[in-house]
Amino acid sequence: MDRLYPWILRTLGLVVPALVVALGWQLYQGAAAARHAFGWGFVVGSSWDPVFNHFGAWPFIFGTLVTTAVAIVLAAPLGIGVAIFLAELAPNWLRGPVGYLVELLAAVPSVVFGLWGLFVLAPWMRTDLEPWLIAHGHNFPLFRGAPYGLGFLAAGLVLAIMVTPFVVGMAREAIIAVPRVQREAAYALGATRWETIWQVVLPGARSGIAGGVLLGMGRALGETIAVTMLIGNTPAVSASLLAPGYTLASVIANEFTEATTALYTSALVEIGLVLFASTLVVNLIARLMIARLAAAGAAA
C-alpha cells in the first residue's frame, strides 16, 4: 500500500493535465471547419451572420474584454479596500459577520445575480444612472448614446459584485500573513497606522493581492449566465459602455441550440476554443506573476 499510494496519486495528478490537453485538442478539432473557412480572420472579423454563414468573433472577444475590464477596475479597489478593512481596521466584533457575508456573496449562484441585475439594477441604470452619466459625461466616449439599461456597464457592474469576494478573500489572507513583527517595526519607528498599512503591510502582501485580482479576472472572463442576462446580446463593437454587446461565453450559451449548420456549430466551438485559451493564458500569467512576486518577496 505504501508503494501503491504515491503511484495512484501520481497517476491522478497526471489525469488532470491530460484532461486539459484533451479538451483543448477536441475543441481545436471541432473548430476545424471554422478555422479552414476563416483562418485568423475569425478572431478579427466583426460580422457574425448565421444566415449568410459568415462568422467573426471580434464582437464577442471585445465584449468579454470590456466587461472583464469594467469588473476588475471596480472590484480590485473595492475588494482590496474591504480586505484592508477586515484585516486591519474593523473592530473584532465586526470582522466575523462582515467576513461571513462576503463569503456568502461568493456562494450565491450566478443566475441569482443575473435576476437581480435584470430586475433591479438594469431598470435603475436605465432611468437614473445612465441618464446622469450621459448628462454629466460631457460627451465622454465611454458614456455616450441612449440609456438601454442592458449593456457592457450593467454586465460589468454585476461581474464586479460577483468577483469582489474572490479579491477580498485572497487579499485578506495575504494581508493577515504579513508578520506582526514587521508592523511593530514600523510603529516603533513612529509610523502611523496608515503609513504602516500603505508602506509596510500592502507591499508585503502584494503577491497575494495580485493573485486575488487575477483570480477574479479569470472568473469574470468565463462567467456566463449573469452576463448573458445583462449584456444585451448584440454582436456589436461600441466605444460606449452604455451600448449593448455580447461576450464569448454568452454567445455559446445562447446559440448552441440554434446552430443548424456544421459551420455554425464549428464557429461556436472555435469561440469556445478562444475562451478556453484566454482563461488558460490569464491563469498562466496569474501563476507566473504570483510565483515571481513570491520569489521576490522571499528574496527581498
Partner 1 sequence: MDGIAASLRNVNFFYGSQQVLFDVNLEVPERGILAFIGPSGCGKSTLLRSMNRMNDLIPGARLSGEVRIGDEDIYRPGADVISLRRKVGMVFQRSNPFPFSIAENVAYGIKINRLARDRATRDAIIERSLRSAGLWDEVKDRLHRPALALSGGQQQRLCIARALAVEPDILLMDEPASALDPIATARIEELANELKERFTIVIVTHNLQQAARVSDRTSFFLMGKLIESGETRQIFSKPVRKETEDYITGRFG
- Binding residues for partner 1 (CB under 8 A): 92, 179, 181-192, 195, 199-200, 203-204, 297-300
Q: State which residue, 204 or 235, has the beta carbon closest to partner 1.
A: 204
Cα–Cα distance between 204 and 115 in angstroms, integer? 39
Q: State which residue, 195 or 276, has the beta carbon closest to partner 1.
A: 195
**Strand, coil or helix: 41:** helix
**Strand, coil or helix: 189:** coil
Contacts of 243 (CB under 8 A, 6+ apart): 145, 148, 151, 152, 232, 234, 236
DSSP code string of 4-20: HHHHHHHHHHHHHHHHH
Contacts of 83 (CB under 8 A, 6+ apart): 167, 168, 171, 172, 174, 175, 209, 212
Cα–Cα distance between 90 and 110 in angstroms, integer? 29
Q: State which residue, 46 or 182, has the beta carbon closest to partner 1.
A: 182
208 and 293 Cβ atoms separated by less than 8 Å:
no
Q: State which residue, 202 or 273, has the beta carbon closest to partner 1.
A: 202
Min dist. Cβ of residue 97 to partner 1 (A): 18
Min dist. Cβ of residue 199 to partner 1 (A): 7
Min dist. Cβ of residue 265 to partner 1 (A): 52
Amino acid at 37: A
Phi-psi group of 237: left, alpha or beta (phi > 0 → left; psi -120 to 50 → alpha; rest → beta): beta
Min dist. Cβ of residue 281 to partner 1 (A): 29
Q: State which residue, 146 or 296, has the beta carbon closest to partner 1.
A: 296
Min dist. Cβ of residue 179 to partner 1 (A): 7
Min dist. Cβ of residue 186 to partner 1 (A): 7
143 and 240 Cβ atoms separated by less than 8 Å:
yes
* Length, in residues, of the chain: 300
Q: State which residue, 124 or 194, has the beta carbon closest to partner 1.
A: 194
Cα–Cα distance between 238 and 143 in angstroms, integer? 11
Q: State which residue, 47 or 199, has the beta carbon closest to partner 1.
A: 199
Show the cell assigned to 276.
478556453
Cα–Cα distance between 233 and 151 in angstroms, integer? 8
Min dist. Cβ of residue 290 to partner 1 (A): 16
